[in-house]
Amino acid sequence: MAENAAATANIGVVGLAVMGSNLARNLASREGNTVAVYNRSYEKTETLLSEHPEAGFVGSSTVEEFAASLQTPRTAIIMVKAGAGTDAVIDQLTAVFEPGDIIVDGGNALFTDTIRREKAVRETGIHFVGAGISGGEEGALNGPSIMPGGSKESYETLGPILSSIAAVAEGEPCVTHVGTDGAGHFVKMIHNGIEYADMQLIAEAYDLIRRGTGKSPAEIADVFAEWNTGELESYLIEITAEVLRQVDAETGKPLVDVIVDQAGAKGTGAWTVQTALDLGIPVSGIAEAVFARSLSSKPAQRAAATDLPGPSDAWTVDDPETFIEDVRRALYASKIIAYSQGFDEIVAGAEQYGWDIQKGEIAKIWRGGCIIRAQFLNRITEAYAENDGLVALVTAPYFRDAVAGAQDSWRRVVATAAHAGIPAPAFSSSLSYYDGLRADRLPAALVQGQRDFFGAHTYKRIDKDGTFHTLWSGDRSEISAVDTH
């Protein structure tokens, strides 16, 4: 049992698995912080205390001691697996905390759970802040990107603490008050949706290059390393080169060839798409990335389908260098679409839930620490600084020009993939979205006609106001329009 601690800690962490321990160590390493730690089973606390005496942690074996070890107003960050465990810890903390104290949930919670929890905890006078934290284990330890929601008032206490542990990009800490209640977890969810799209696009680029040019994973690692010096510079491109270069110690083969080709998912990508469906926002690139993981993880269906016929013509790439450059440009254009769709969802979510989300600030705090950190996020901040009411990121001058420069390559790559029978769902859906967005006229007019035909769902006309229903018949001369106004 830990000794009954005096109130010496200015911040506490509950949940000492890898993310929680690393975040606690990060907090302890910043000047002025004394960190209280608590875990359901005391063994984990003991291990952390003995492995990191330099951190000066204040360990407690009960939640009451933990609360007593914190200076008031108490601030505690919960780092447990999102779900029922989070509710259990909140119940424990609200029982021993007092009005004015702050409970932060740093897990990957579903934002609607955060809205519910914030409302319930607020009734006790305690503040509840859902904070998205990105950057994996390494980010938690050395500086993550942090997306806190909750009240403005709680951010006054929390802001300086979070700023002290966040990643720093171009001199600025990667943290901002995103908006009230669930706004932080909502934005973290979109971050993850974009992360899924970015990863899938990179995987498609690798697959096309490998199958088209016959280059080895190590050679493709060099291609990615080279791309990482230009407009695609990002953490995900950087680690892709490292993953492709890795050799399996047991077999001597490229590790990527030894790994089972079934991608897992913990659900945040699916949430992004489910939420987008509810909001009516087409995040098709993100959706295809989620579905590509689902398809990969259907071994029985895939095994049954291996003899379905593919293209009859063999595929060869005449000029590998040109093809690789085409793929690079297609990747850049598709990535712009993924961000454009993700920001559309942020705008729609902000409107639906009444959050004042500063889009440019979100792009800024994603420049460092998080999984999607990338050079080009500065361009997004600039685009919203120029025009905060931008209706689609891809229409901003910088991105319009970037896509204009890439689109011939993009079309060639998508056509080549279709011709060669290579799945490129994220590349192709992004291009279709782009073409849909820029179309003068869409066949949606025909869909409206069909809906009115079988269900009298009505339609609008291009030449006059009002809502119309046609008395459909086989003889066109008998069709008459009825203004249902």
Cite the active site residues.
188, 195
Is 196 annotated as a binding-site member?
yes
Residues 6+ apart with CB under 8 A from 366: 134, 145, 174, 191, 372, 373, 374, 377
Q: Is 272 one of the binding residues for ligand 6PG (CB under 6 A)?
A: no
Q: How far apart are CA 159 and CA 147, in angstroms?
A: 11
Q: Of 3 and 138, which has the nearer Cβ to ligand 6PG?
A: 138
Is 22 annotated as a binding-site member?
no
Question: Which residue, among 290, 289, 235, has the nearest Cα to 427 in the 3D structure?
Answer: 289
What's the min distance (Å) between Cβ of 317 and ligand 6PG?
A: 31
* Ramachandran quadrant class, 70 (left: phi over 0; alpha: psi -120 to 50; beta: rest): beta
Q: Which of 34, 114, 134, 334 binds ligand 6PG (CB under 6 A)?
A: 134
Q: Is 136 one of the binding residues for ligand 6PG (CB under 6 A)?
A: yes
Q: How far apart are CA 258 and CA 176, in angstroms?
A: 41
* Residue bearing tokens 């600025």: 172
What's the min distance (Å) between Cβ of 145 and ligand 6PG?
A: 8
**217 upstream amide cis, omega within 30 of 0:** no
- Within residues 149-168, the interface with ligand 6PG by CB under 6 A covers none
Q: Which of 65, 101, 113, 195 binds ligand 6PG (CB under 6 A)?
A: 195
What's the min distance (Å) between Cβ of 465 and ligand 6PG?
A: 47
Which one of the spans 33-41, 161-169, 263-271, 463-471 is the region binding ligand 6PG (CB under 6 A)? Answer: 263-271
Amino acid at 138: E
* Ramachandran quadrant class, 48 (left: phi over 0; alpha: psi -120 to 50; beta: rest): alpha
Q: Which of 265, 295, 348, 437 binds ligand 6PG (CB under 6 A)?
A: 265
- Within residues 200-229, the interface with ligand 6PG by CB under 6 A covers none
Q: Is 266 one of the binding residues for ligand 6PG (CB under 6 A)?
A: yes
Is 39 annotated as a binding-site member?
yes
Q: Is 105 one of the binding residues for ligand 6PG (CB under 6 A)?
A: no
Is 40 annotated as a binding-site member?
yes
Q: Is 474 one of the binding residues for ligand 6PG (CB under 6 A)?
A: no
What's the min distance (Å) between Cβ of 400 and ligand 6PG?
A: 29
Is 206 annotated as a binding-site member?
no
Question: Which residue, among 146, 201, 205, has the nearest Cα to 177 in the 3D structure?
Answer: 146
Q: How far apart are CA 353 and CA 333, in angstroms?
A: 30
Question: Which residue, among 446, 213, 408, has the nearest Cα to 326 in the 3D structure?
Answer: 408
Question: Which residue, among 190, 226, 189, 186, has the nearest Cα to 205 in the 3D structure?
Answer: 226
Amino acid at 203: A
Binding site for ligand 6PG (CB under 6 A): 108, 134-136, 192, 195, 264-266, 268-269, 370-371
Which residues are documented as binding site?
A: 15-20, 39-41, 80-82, 108, 134-136, 191-192, 196, 266, 293, 451, 457
